[in-house]
Structure 1
Amino acid sequence: MNEPTMTQAQALARVDQLVAETAAALSPKPRLELIQSSVPFSMCLDEGKSENQVVVNRAYWLRDVPSSENMNIARQVHAFWERQGHVITSTGGWQVGHPSIGGESRPDEFILALTWSAGDDLYLAATSPCVWPDGTPAPADR
């Protein structure tokens, strides 16, 4: 339960890698705009995990993509994640042109999301599993 994990910095690098690789596979190419509210680290709320662990999340608006391309972008994201070996955990909104896709990266179980938002915009997000900030449990958690 209190095994070493990747560090908070490593988790952030992986989150950014997952988003950047997905965006790079898309056409038309989006410009990623960080959603500032996604930046603060969050306390781990997973049952059986220490409150001293954190979750790293980042979300980015997909800018410079016309809303008429939203469904095309969603299909590309779905196909790219499958090609990468990630698991698609949910899809929704396709029938009304408001696509959302949930996924989980393999082998490291980061949560992936493509989400439609009011205003006809899409954003990509990735969230880490619970990690120890420096990669090892604090003495009280050992």
Structure 2
Amino acid sequence: MSGTLNQEQALERVEQHIGNATANLPDSLHTESLGVIDGASCDDPTDNGPKVRIIVSHKYWLDGLQPEDNEHHAELLHQHWTNNGYTVLTDDRPDEIYISVENNEDGFRMSLQESAEGSLSLGASSPCIWPNGSPE
């Protein structure tokens, strides 16, 4: 069992991923937090490691964007991700705007989703981590 980022470092990395992605969207964008999850149980680790680890995540509404441009914004993010070392896990377009990706280098995941009302949300989450960065 090896060390991981600690909880604070993982949340910083989540914010970096979100910041890098939103930098590709129009200047009219402003984000509204939907909440931070900074200690969710990692009940189903994909790395076959211990279940006592946690994940951290943060999700935002992407405000200030025109709903009629959502497909264009989704494509901008898709291009950013595919050009910057992410693997697309899910892309439900054109039926609905839902894209999920995983960063090939650090295992952090991101997703973009359109609500029934036409608002976009963007989130990022860490892989399973030890809360203090090292096995307990």
Return the TM-score normalized by structure 1: 0.87
Structure 1 residue aligned with 2:70: 70
Which 5+ residue runs of structure 1 have no aligned equivalent? none
Alpha carbon RMSD of aligned pairs, Å? Answer: 1.5
What is the identity percentage for the equivalent residue pairs of Structure 1 and Structure 2? 29
Corresponding residue number in structure 2 for 1:81: 81
* Equivalent-residue separation in structure 2 for 1:124 and 1:32 (angstroms): 9
Cα distance, 1:3–1:12 mapped onto 2, change above 3 Å: same
In terms of fraction of residues, the more strand-rich structure is 2
1:66, distance to aligned residue in structure 2 (A): 1.1
Unaligned runs of 5+ in 2: none
The list of structure 1 runs, each at least 4 consecutive aligned residues, that deviate by more than 4 angstroms after superposition, is: none
Match of 2:121 among 87, 107, 123: 123
Distance, in Å, in 1 between the alignment partners of 2:82 and 2:51 is 33
**Alignment-derived partner of residue 42 in structure 2:** 44
In 2, Cα distance between equivalents of 1:83 and 1:116: 22
Question: Structure 2-normalised TM-score?
Answer: 0.91
Greater share of helix? 1
Equivalent residue pairs, number: 134
